[in-house]
Amino acid sequence: MNDQALPNVLVTGFEPFGGERVNPSAEIVRALDGEILNGHRVATAILPVAFASTLPMLEALLETHRPVLVLATGQAGGRSELSIERVAANLIDARIPDADGVQPIDEPVIADAPAAYFSTLPVKAMLARLRVLGIPAALSQSAGAYVCNQAFYALAHLVATRHRGTRAGFVHVPWLPEQAVRHHGQPSMALGTMAAGVRAAIECAVATRRDLRVAGGSTH
């Protein structure tokens, strides 16, 4: 079968923001672009950290690539592990202005839509796979209230409505070591480890329909 006939997975990352020169999620996306993972071709996009762009760009990407699965990724500076997000909230409460200088406070991502969506990826199976590979990972109950949560919610809404054949989820990643040197005492992870983790998460997700039934809750 030629590559063009393979089903697509879409992996997105974000541009640098908040005074950083790089965004690890964008570097991961560059590393994975065009790879074949478990019989799926990886299409990628790097999104601006701008509230106004998120929904139209994701809609266009889903129309163009018709992916069977989307994994969006973003930087969560200060986290020490790959964070597999479970919940997308219909809430924007921006801590800092976005790339357009816009800082919405307590607004919905999409008006008159559900308060939250869950990831439709097998988050516990993905977590187990990463841990077996020796890649630090955790489940997360909140993707925050900034552009990453907005993107996760927008994706979840699109796959719950107009793109029902697509599954979607979000993974937050730590700072790169070169970023952490300027955030003294903060955790970081090497790009190769993060890229391997995202690859493994995708390979697991495309092959797993039914998630593991193991305890995964936490107090935060």
Which positions lie near ligand PCA, rule CB under 6 A?
14, 17, 23, 25, 49, 74-76, 144, 146-148
Type of residue at 20? E
CA angle 65, 70, 73 (to 5 degrees): 120
Closer residue to ligand PCA in complex, CB, 40/77: 77
- Which residues form the catalytic set? 85, 148, 172
Smallest distance from ligand PCA to CB 3, Å: 29
Q: Which is nearer to ligand PCA, 29 or 206 (CB)?
A: 29
Note the helical H segments in 135-184. Answer: 147-160, 177-180
Name the minimum Å distance from CB 146 to ligand PCA.
3
Measured from the CB atom, the residue of 57 and 147 that comes closer to ligand PCA is 147
Q: Which pair of structure tokens corresponds to residue 176?
A: 């790169």
Phi-psi region for residue 196, left (φ > 0), alpha (ψ -120 to 50) or beta? alpha
Cα separation values, 22 from 19, 101, 126, 158, Å: 9, 19, 26, 28
Q: Which residues pair with 74 in a beta bridge?
A: 172
* Least distance to ligand PCA, CB of residue 143, Å: 7
Both tokens of 81, joined, read 């592990």
Q: How far is the CB of 27 from ligand PCA (least distance, A)?
A: 11
Nearer to ligand PCA, 57 or 128 (CB): 57
Report how far residue 13's alpha carbon sits from residue 1's, in angstroms, rounded to the nearest whole number: 29
